[in-house]
Structure 1
Amino acid sequence: MSQRGFEIVSAYQNAGLKLPERQTANAAGYDFFAREDFVLKSIWRYDFIRLFRLIKNEHPLTPDDMQRASSILKPLLVPTGIKAYMQPNEVLILANRSSNPLKRGLVIPNGIGVIDADYYNNPSNEGEIFIQMVNASPRDVVIAKGERIGQGIFMPYLLADGDLGNANQRTAGFGSTGVK
């Protein structure tokens, strides 16, 4: 019986994708690779400086300014074409590669990603894993198909005393459990 691992999402079976892999015998993380060429635009390319000046000088922001700021500072989802299966009491933690912030200015804005066991084969996107990233460097960064973009670590988790679980079932993909 398989306990945990990775599969290629069915839509990309013939796309020449690699399953995540550890780079050394003692590596905890499985490196994820980009499903396709992807451009992460620098946050500095946009009208960010103008918005920063408005905020710094305590000028009120218009609804248009707020919309522009939201689109500028929004992370992009780099697709992997990979899904992960695991036991119900496990989680796959997504983390940045240690070289990404220092060498390329790429950060995962929420620090980590959490892939729950019930994300696998969800009806919305079959459980495809995406790595959220923001490019804080002054230049756009081109991520080539097959390039390592993040890493995943399988971990068990514990429940609080008295937690009887929640009977809700996942009905969608990325970010669906926080939507009301």
Structure 2
Amino acid sequence: MTRGFEIVSKYQDQNLTLPYRTTVNAAGYDFESAVNMTIPSIWKLDFLKVLWAIKHEKKCQPEKLDRARQTLKPFLIPTGIKAYMQPNEVLIIANRSSNPLKRGLAIPNGIGVIDADYYNNSGNEGEIFVQILNFGISDIKIQKGERIAQGIFMPYLLADQENRTKKQTRQGGFGSSGR
């Protein structure tokens, strides 16, 4: 087995579809949502009031700031999928071109990076989640089985100084290698 996809154990009986290429020359594998969920618009709650206060150099109540932060926090769409690959490869999760154009959905960090050692990690079995923000005017309903992102396997290169860098073993799931 060189590279590919599997369904994580908690979704084994959920009739999920493994990522697939839609056309013969497609580079990306389409990922589908494993659940029905709603992605709220960022323009809800106290977000606009906080922006107005910041612009006019007014003080904001801490609870309004917290609600605004929660509004801008990306939502994680579960895919129920994990990916295996060679140690010198990475799976890049990218937005579908139709998401921002037609729906106002964006991956806030630009791309997702799925490392080879994310597969079968102890934190979440390596399940891939897609971070999404809804910049549209209204809430967006995501249906189970709806295409939400695309994944592209790629090799990567190491720096000459690689042997001098500190490395650790992955200890958990989503976002576990950062601080």
TM-score, reference length from structure 1: 0.96
State the match for 2:6 in structure 1: 7
Residue 121 in structure 1 maps to residue 120 in structure 2: yes
Partners of 2:68 and 2:89 lie apart in 1 by 36
Work out the percentage of aligned pairs sharing the same amino acid.
62
Partner amino acid, structure 2, of 1:151: Q
1:166 CA displacement = 4.1
Superposed counterparts of 1:8-157, under 5 Å = 8-157=7-156
Instruction: Determine helix, strand or coil for the equivalent of 1:55.
Output: helix
Q: Detail structure 1 runs of 4+ shifted over 2 Å in the superposition.
A: 60-66
Q: Is the 8 A contact 2:80 2:127 kept in 1?
A: yes
1:46 CA displacement = 1.8
What is the root-mean-square deviation in Å for CA atoms of aligned residues? 1.0
Partners of 1:59 and 1:89 lie apart in 2 by 50
Partners of 1:64 and 1:13 lie apart in 2 by 41
State the match for 1:168 in structure 2: 168
Instruction: Determine helix, strand or coil for the equivalent of 1:43.
Output: coil
Q: Which range moved further: 161-170 or 2-11? A: 161-170
Q: Which range moved further: 53-62 or 102-111? A: 53-62
Partners of 1:54 and 1:7 lie apart in 2 by 48
Partners of 2:48 and 2:167 lie apart in 1 by 47
1:62 CA displacement = 3.7
Q: Which range moved further: 84-93 or 58-67? A: 58-67
Partners of 1:158 and 1:102 lie apart in 2 by 33
Partners of 2:167 and 2:134 lie apart in 1 by 38
Unaligned runs of at least 5 residues, structure 1: none
Q: Which range moved further: 68-77 or 163-172? A: 163-172
1:59 CA displacement = 1.2
Partners of 1:29 and 1:132 lie apart in 2 by 17
1:61 CA displacement = 3.2
Instruction: Determine helix, strand or coil for the equivalent of 1:31.
Output: strand
Partners of 2:139 and 2:64 lie apart in 1 by 23
Q: Is the 8 A contact 2:7 2:18 kept in 1?
A: yes
Q: Is the 8 A contact 2:46 2:64 kept in 1?
A: no
Partners of 1:142 and 1:177 lie apart in 2 by 31
Instruction: Determine helix, strand or coil for the equivalent of 2:5.
Output: strand
Partner amino acid, structure 2, of 1:34: S
Unaligned runs of at least 5 residues, structure 2: none
Corresponding residue pairs, total: 178
Partners of 1:49 and 1:70 lie apart in 2 by 12
1:71 CA displacement = 0.5
Partner amino acid, structure 1, of 2:56: N
1:41 CA displacement = 0.5
Q: Which range moved further: 75-84 or 37-46? A: 37-46
